[in-house]
Structure 1
């Protein structure tokens, strides 16, 4: 039983850093996705890393187009035939933000795109990649194949603290907040499914990365508290460690970069 990993998308930002971190700290094959420029993405992901390049597979995938998700899943089925292989670690990180400050700024098209990207995107990834997770009676990988991986196969969905209803004291960001609250619900619902389908062999969690120094958050850097604007490489290291550390008792919940629970 050979475990493999998935990061989608991985062409920039947190996804890019997560993919490199997995290549650096595990010996698992990795599937990374991008919408375009696949060869360039692969070259950048491997740049400066002393790893076996054959471990990395780059696939074309756009979470707004389910047919590309299905095609990527088919390619993974050919690359990693079951039951001799299984998906052991996945980071699903699509994201877009329209920061509405008041109800008057809500734009229906922008809000719909936000939900399609942030919430429906991970849902569709789960739809097509859940079959690769181990089941209750799946054989366990060899110990040397598990280097750097969590003990339980894990699907990690990228959420945000602003998706917490109980933590919402400022308002604003209507579509983004709502879409990330939806991600937390999707993670919990999917984990409930895995409790039945996989037992203790697979689980799902949501993650809050903090404010990361990427193009995604650049417009808001000035308002970030000192010491709370993080480099993406550091955040990737933290998130991989969190996923490795929360264990089965942490399944179905949202965890921040420091390993603290973000309450619903």
Structure 2
């Protein structure tokens, strides 16, 4: 059985770190490449790497720097030769840590910074890692018997329900909403282009729910207890979706419970 190779972008904490833990524990045989901006400060990730020396590789990568992404892709190609799963996890609510509640709070730099991390970064990741995903062994998702529908790799972009234009009834959070809506469009575009390859690369956007992480913590008081998820619960739900993906599901956005999200 071929070793499944997954790359988790934004793996130093929160959802990204939990994805690493989940795959290492539940997906065997597998290898995980964990990227983050500053590995030296990622104590929990380094501890995890120490526990899985033969399966977890930590790579320095700032998703805002194209040269970092290019060099990381070169390193993965040299070490693994392919990739089965690319998961873009890192996200920025806003440089201030709070979403804009009105136009008065909007700044050009705030929008640019949020879009760079949440939208541009994942798209540039796809640019450099798509050739490796096209060489994947289909280690994640479901493979239908029809050869024309089989996939090689999967791209998962972590989106957010607030990025849904059709679901937006409250407004606010300009930068974050815009960045996730744009990420959804990028995911759709990728699914079309990479769906032409043989075998295909499946591309989806997944909403993790409201998770107990640093990004959402300022707003936890407004979330019912039963709707605030641990990283363990959210990642378990999302991995259940990933393991059922096939080429028929590409180009869509799904919530943590498997329901399709409106664009």
The residue that corresponds to 2:196 in the other structure is 196
Q: Is the 8 A contact 2:202 2:246 kept in 1?
A: no
Corresponding residue of 2:16:
15
Q: TM-score, normalised by structure 2?
A: 0.88
Q: Secondary structure at the residue paired with 2:204?
A: strand
CA-based RMSD: 1.8
TM-superposed CA distance for 1:42, in Å, is 3.8
Check the 8 A contact 1:20/1:46 in 2, yes or no: no
- The one-character-per-residue Cα deviations of 1:193-241 (angstroms, maximum 9, x if unpaired) are 1111234x42100010011001111100001123100001111111111
- How far 1:46 sits from its partner (Å)? 4.5
Following superposition, the deviation at residue 104 of structure 1 comes to 1.1
| Larger RCO: 1 or 2 (CA < 8 Å, sep 6+) | 1
SS in 2 for 1:184: helix
1: CA distance, partners of 2:33 / 2:83: 10
Asked if 2 retains the 8 angstrom alpha-carbon contact of 1:16 and 1:45, the reply is: no
Q: For residue 112 of structure 1, report the CA deviation from its aligned partner.
A: 0.5
SS in 2 for 1:165: coil
Partner of 1:94: 90
Paired position in structure 2 for 1:5:
6
Superposition TM-score, scaled by structure 1 size:
0.88
- For 1:124, the equivalent position in structure 2 comes to 124
Does structure 2 retain, via aligned residues, the 8 Å contact 1:246–1:259?
Answer: no
| Distance change >3 Å, CA 40–CA 198, structure 1 → 2 | farther
| CA distance in structure 2 between the partners assigned to 1:251 and 1:22 by the alignment | 21
Distance 1:29 1:224 in 2: 36
- Alpha-carbon contact 2:39-2:59 (below 8 Å) kept: no
CA contact (8 A) 2:202 2:250 kept: yes
Distance in 2 (CA, whole Å) between partners of 1:63 and 1:173 is 22
> Which residue of 2 is the match for residue 70 of structure 1?
70
Distance 1:163 1:42 in 2: 29
Indicate the residue corresponding to 1:167 in structure 2.
167
Aligned length: 247
Where structure 1 has 5 or more consecutive residues not aligned to the other structure, the ranges are none
Match of 2:46 in 1: 43
CA contact (8 A) 1:188 1:252 kept: yes
